[in-house]
Structure 1
């Protein structure tokens, strides 16, 4: 899906195309300068795919917001948005969610359309944005939009 690549691009400003599957959780920190204050974001990169289970919901306690990521080149990740949203809202019904379609740069391999992602996000009660961790397109905007949602400005 590119969750780790999105976090790495946002926190470290770099992209690495070597695939390493996330095991468990990795926590990163980034301070966002807002108009009137600094926002300290702790970004938790959780295992995804079929490896995510109710065992991981303990990590979700206290979550203020989440980017729920769909890989635009894999239709099955669009279908998994329901499951991830259910896990998040079971733990925190008020969690701020932003749905992200990642890998925008791979247009020739795209399996998920803008309309499909828009309909899924609307059905699940959230907004969506498109990103490319590889090129950096939309990454800062996605995290800024999530920060806005968390602070009630989105």
Structure 2
């Protein structure tokens, strides 16, 4: 007997960390060099088959957090899981991820999440130190080095989050 679950999944992070590019790579298998700032929220869907369970992921690509533009709590309501996206070429995006993590926990409780340390293909511009990644892992955060450009670990990260949604 197969089971189908529909789950709302939010992508959260500072502006320009690559949330839209990650969704595009995961859902459509494409990457665009063009930067398009997300206004509000953009919703995509993708089904993942894990064993005999189909997870219909409703992916909420939410506009980037900026000091003057906070993510509304209403966007987070009803989410079953989330991806915290950090731009490895901008160390400052860790702080936004930590703040968003606390806000979504207040809004949705202790729900599954993974951290995407994005833009790992840009090694010459990489700003995250090994100690930054270790600090996240010490908090119990499961981290993936991802690249929306090359596709590295994108499917693996989304699949791992889907596994965490299994009953």
Report the TM-score when normalising by structure 1.
Answer: 0.91
| Deviation >6 Å, runs of 4+ | none
- Name 1:141's counterpart in structure 2: 156
Residue deviations 1:89-115, cap 9 Å, x none?
Answer: 011112111111000100000001343
Count of residue pairs the alignment pairs up:
150
Structure with more helix by fraction: 1
Structure with more strand by fraction: 2
- Name 1:53's counterpart in structure 2: 70
Q: Hey, what's the Cα distance between the residues in 1 that align with 2:150 and 2:113?
A: 23
Alignment RMSD (CA, Å): 1.4
- Unaligned residue ranges in structure 2 (runs of 5+): 1-16
Measured after TM superposition, the shift of residue 59 of structure 1 is 1.1
Q: Aligned pair 1:35/2:35, yes or no? A: no
- Unaligned residue ranges in structure 1 (runs of 5+): none
Q: Aligned pair 1:107/2:107, yes or no? A: no
Q: Is the 8 A contact 1:60 1:88 kept in 2?
A: yes
Report the TM-score when normalising by structure 2.
Answer: 0.84
Q: Hey, what's the Cα distance between the residues in 2 that align with 1:36 and 1:9?
A: 25
